[in-house]
Amino acid sequence: SKQFMKSNNIQLICYGLDTVATVTINNMIIGRSINMFDRYIFDVKHALQAGKNTISVAFTSAVTFAAIQSMAYKDDIPPDCPPAIQHGECHRNFIRKEPCSFSWDWGPAFITQGIWRSIELQGYNSPIIRDVKISPLYDNGKKEWTLNITVVFYSSSKFKGTGKLSLTIQPKLKLNRQTWKVSLSKYPQIFTFTAKVSGNVKRWWPINYGNQSMYTLKIQFQVDGHSQPTNSISRRFGFRTTKLLQPKLKKGNGFYFAINDIPIFLKGANWIPADSFESRVTPSVIRNLLQSAIDANMNVVRNWGGGIYQHEAFYDIADEMGLLVWEELKYACSMYPVDSTFLNSVKNEITYQVRRLHHHPSVFVWGGNNENEVAIAQNWYGTNKNPSLYKKNYVELYIKTIRPMVLSEDPSRPFLSSSPSNGVQSEKDDWLATNPQDPYYGDVHYYNYSSDIWKTSSYPTPRFASEYGFQSYPSFEALSKVSKSSDWKFNSSFMEHRQHHPQGTAQLLQQMNLHFTLPKSNTSQKSFEDYIFLTQIVQAVGYSVETEHYRRRRSLLDSSDKGMTMGALYWQLNSIWPAPSWSSLEYGGRWKMLQYYAAKFFAPITLSIYEDQDIIHIYGINDYQSSFNGMGIMTLRTWSSMKPLHAWNLTVHLKPLSSKPIFHKNSKTLLKSGGCLNRLKCMLTLQLYDSHGSAIGTANTLYLSPFKHPELLKNPKLKLVVKSKSSSNTYKISVKSDAVAAFTWLSAGPIKGRFSNNGYLTTDTVTSIEFHAWQNITKETLQKHMKVVRHNSANQDLKMAWECQRSPYSCQFESKVISCTPSKLEGKDGFDVLLEDTILFPAGGGQPDDRGTINEVSVHDVRRDGSKAIHFTRQPLEIGTDARINLDWKRRFDHMQQHTGQHLITAVIESRYGYKTLSWNLGKARSSIELSCKSMTQEEIDCAELEINNAIRASTPVTVHLYGKDDPGLEKIRSRGIPDDFAGPVRVVEIEVICVCGSNFSVRNVDPTTSCGPEDHVDQVQKLQKTAKASQKAARNYLREIATLEAEKFNNTTDLVLCVHRVVAILIDEIQMSRCRSIGFDHIYAQSTSELLGKSSIKLIQLADLKSSRKIKSK
């Protein structure tokens, strides 16, 4: 309007442009953006006209921009690209944009662009208040609060004059001063002033420590001569203090946060972006996720540095709920450039974001970056090739640029240079510690994918654990929405595409295999759902073990002075899409089993039970500010009956904010005294009661053996009924059971909501559960979709009898000694040892038995007795003790190669010539197969040998099927017969259209060396290696010659060249090659990168696949 055009100041405010954009008004460029996290303010009055106007924001590909910046930069700044398994894009560190949008090990590469936050056109005549900061500071000596307030004025006109600032607070508090005179002349102009507060100030507290009292501060500005205020701004804030304390200990330093001078054990998880597309992240989505954190007894989330500075609703809701926020600046897992353009963008970003978030009491600490200190220390990205450069850049960015800016803008909060780091010790080490994961200092990130995550001994004892965890799959309901039935296999191409963590699937299988018998196949929806269920069980129990370990150490130091652990923030709370991840909440907010377990292991007051080195320990943990007196009941139970075997009463006295040991006893002694003679058949539960006898929370459980003996578990015949609606969208559910059931899991199908408890051990005939629906439903609808499963129903499929059959490549295994009886072998005395499970194959099917040791005792024979594997040793083994089995792999591998080769030979000869295999035998130097023919011609032998070796070279697919002994499907498959005492399923190996039968063998792609005898294997392998090296050398030479020719062609043209690498398009006008690598160009020199779009001729060149990191320099 004409009236609007009369405004002295007209500005376009862009609160979020993602990311590289040119802004025009009426075809006139008024500004550009290069930072997703900055607020851009453009003066636009000169470009506007009365009437219709057109504002245009034109975006450039972030991928292209980042690649060009990388090419133009003087140094190599790693990492260039993410690991191939992430299917991501390159050079995320050369653009100030959400890092994880380029892909991560839990998320996709969806590199968005557009207007992602609000955009406004503002007109005003006098200067306006653009920002305000509020820092409540408490003087412990004077017992009074002071408000430090900073006001930032903006104006695009040359206004000079004076005015009055006035301050009010609601609910009302007394201030020693409420008005200030200001003089304005240049902009932005900053005023800082203080006001002392008196009266009954109510503090803001984290959840479970007090109320979340909030105040509204309103600041008005009135230009002298005006009768009314010309501008005002309001902020919600809270009175609270925050400190990072690192007291000197006997060895190292402590590390904990105090809120309002109360040391807080931080319990929570790491927050990642809730969606790849932030426009879908509404306040209701944020509220649901943060409420789930509160409902799981968390008091903190860490807004991780690879995501975004969150929406206003995130911090408003956290303030309201009492949820602390560790706000990490958005720099993660990368080195970064430090040229003036990049640093200036960083400075603008930090200034804006700190001022934007400063007033939220939930934000209690600023973090400089995620894992960049440890990345340098551990050479994650090859920084050791030039350590001085990367250390200098690190200090320049985080210590000399970001840190002073944050502390200047906000002196009320601590600043951590990195996570993990050694805190004060990192500072003494010039901000780059040799080992930023030192358990005696600071915080640690701990991931261990090879050890048993259900064992306490697998974990460190740090001062503070700010990241840790293990993967699981989301529910079938989540995955089925984005897949089709052919994808519903554990290792389908769909699942592998969404698995972005290297070796992630193998790690899941390994952990599941330690504790469970895996489903019989991977070909049905049922088996797929079973796999999903087992991953969630493994994750939930693993996090429980690790988190309770950290909580038990809050008040204690061990013999090596480790402990005083004051934080446990697991990775990660939420998911960005339906895929394997470390999250406890699925994409969309559905609770995984882990989230239900988090509500237990984060309970403010709890008892923790675990076993270590044959000792059962119980600890008490109290996060409240008052003492606790109560009782714990430890109950010994069996799988076969709901009637307890025995119970022990424990007196529990806990001081405020503390942990302490309550009970410990030898496992065998305890179980024997309670009437359990076989730990396979028993478990312990532990329930806490207050002084009035009321149960606190749900019972903790200590399982005493792997879940590999389904014969011990009765079918509980679980039934559930939706009883009634107790309140708005809350329904009471009754679960009936005839027997003990582990990991009882309730599902409401597509209905959104959560249960009051889930994944629990059923020990009562009737269990009452509540379902909190997140949508309007009827009782009938809920009943229709409700279902219940438990561990032993998820594994009703056929199972191979022994670990050696389920995992034939395992060389070490832990089991239990079930029995040990005197025996003889070839006239020599010894003992027959029976284990819970074994990795040692018994003899059978033409294959000799394995050899190895049990607890360093040699095994001289393994034989099958029905479903049992009997181990013969010369020394006795104590019944009930742990059995550490080591396999003689050299012997096993030789057997596997020969046995697998025999099955392949049998299949090919029978399918081609009809000669059936009658018997076979494995020998040390030669193996034999007896066929149903008098002889074979040389032509038949040569033809069979060629077909067999071709099948090997072609990596012919092999599929394993399991059949019950009486399955009619077996009638269609010819075999040499099955022993009468055989127990368990029959395994049938299918080699394309060929089927071979066996019960105790493994099929794997056989090496070509099996065409010769074992004595010639080494020579054959060496020949193959030499041939491969010669081929590689020849390929390098050919590629070098091709690259040289291409370089000469480039030198002889002045045409514009479009260089395509992956999906990145880079415009350069003349390219020279200095030298080439075998797999791509090492250096590309670009001349004249300016005014390229004016060129008229474009040539499209497809370069070699540049898989290596490369440097591209401007001449």
Query: Tens digits of per-residue pLDDT, 782-791?
Result: 999 999 988 7
Residue 386 has pLDDT above 50, yes or no: yes
| CA distance linking residue 100 with residue 104, whole number of Å | 6
Residue whose structure tokens are 């794997």: 1004
Residue 997 has pLDDT above 60, yes or no: no
The stretch 399-413 carries a mean pLDDT of: 97
Q: Residue 371 has what pLDDT?
A: 98
pLDDT band with cut points at 50, 70 and 90 for residue 1043: confident
Tens of pLDDT, residue by residue over 919-970, are: 877 776 778 888 888 888 988 888 888 888 888 877 676 666 666 655 666 6
Q: Residue 916 has what pLDDT?
A: 87
| CA distance linking residue 91 with residue 94, whole number of Å | 6
| CA distance linking residue 156 with residue 176, whole number of Å | 34
CA 994 to chain CA mean position, Å: 42
Compare 683 and 882 and report the one with higher pLDDT: 683
DSSP state of 401: I
**Phi then psi dihedrals of residue 742, to 5 deg:** -85, 145
pLDDT band with cut points at 50, 70 and 90 for residue 1053: low
| CA distance linking residue 668 with residue 666, whole number of Å | 6
Query: What token pair was written down for 22?
Result: 């040119």
Q: Residue 975 has what pLDDT?
A: 62
- Residues of the chain above pLDDT 70, percent: 85
Residue 434 has pLDDT above 70, yes or no: yes
| CA distance linking residue 546 with residue 267, whole number of Å | 13
Tens of pLDDT, residue by residue over 758-773, are: 999 999 999 999 999 9
Residue 1076 has pLDDT above 70, yes or no: no
Average pLDDT, the chain: 87
Tens of pLDDT, residue by residue over 1056-1074, are: 444 443 333 333 333 333 3
Q: Residue 1082 has what pLDDT?
A: 34
Q: Residue 902 has what pLDDT?
A: 82
Tens of pLDDT, residue by residue over 582-596, are: 999 999 999 999 999
Tens of pLDDT, residue by residue over 612-632, are: 999 999 999 999 999 999 999
3-state secondary structure 729-759: CEEEEEEECCCCEEEEEEECCCCCEEECCCC
Residue 1097 has pLDDT above 60, yes or no: no
The stretch 99-124 carries a mean pLDDT of: 97
The stretch 382-394 carries a mean pLDDT of: 97
Tens of pLDDT, residue by residue over 310-322, are: 999 999 999 999 9
pLDDT band with cut points at 50, 70 and 90 for residue 554: very high
The stretch 429-448 carries a mean pLDDT of: 97
Amino acid identity of 840? Answer: L
pTM of the model: 0.77
Q: Residue 1008 has what pLDDT?
A: 41
Residue whose structure tokens are 């000694």: 817
Q: Residue 761 has what pLDDT?
A: 95
The stretch 75-79 carries a mean pLDDT of: 97
Residue 539 has pLDDT above 60, yes or no: yes
Asked if residue 103 lies in contact with residue 89, where contact means CB atoms within 8 angstroms, the answer is: yes
The stretch 260-266 carries a mean pLDDT of: 98
| CA distance linking residue 969 with residue 986, whole number of Å | 11
DSSP structure string for 758-773: -SEEE-SSEEEEEEEE
**Phi then psi dihedrals of residue 877, to 5 deg:** -125, 135
Q: Residue 801 has what pLDDT?
A: 65
Q: Helices marked H in 633-675 — which ranges?
A: 667-673
376, 600, 658, 689, 696 from 692: Cα distances, Å? 55, 21, 22, 8, 11
pLDDT band with cut points at 50, 70 and 90 for residue 66: very high
Q: Residue 930 has what pLDDT?
A: 87
Which are the catalytic amino acids? 371, 467
Q: Residue 664 has what pLDDT?
A: 97
6, 266, 293, 582, 585 from 272: Cα distances, Å? 45, 18, 13, 11, 11
Tens of pLDDT, residue by residue over 125-178, are: 999 999 999 999 999 999 999 999 999 999 988 889 999 999 999 999 999 999
The stretch 510-534 carries a mean pLDDT of: 87
| CA distance linking residue 142 with residue 356, whole number of Å | 30
Compare 1076 and 45 and report the one with higher pLDDT: 45
| CA distance linking residue 373 with residue 1024, whole number of Å | 43
268, 293, 550, 551, 566 from 569: Cα distances, Å? 5, 12, 10, 11, 10
197, 801, 821, 843 from 865: Cα distances, Å? 83, 12, 15, 11
CA 1111 to chain CA mean position, Å: 32
pLDDT band with cut points at 50, 70 and 90 for residue 1045: confident
Residue 669 has pLDDT above 50, yes or no: yes
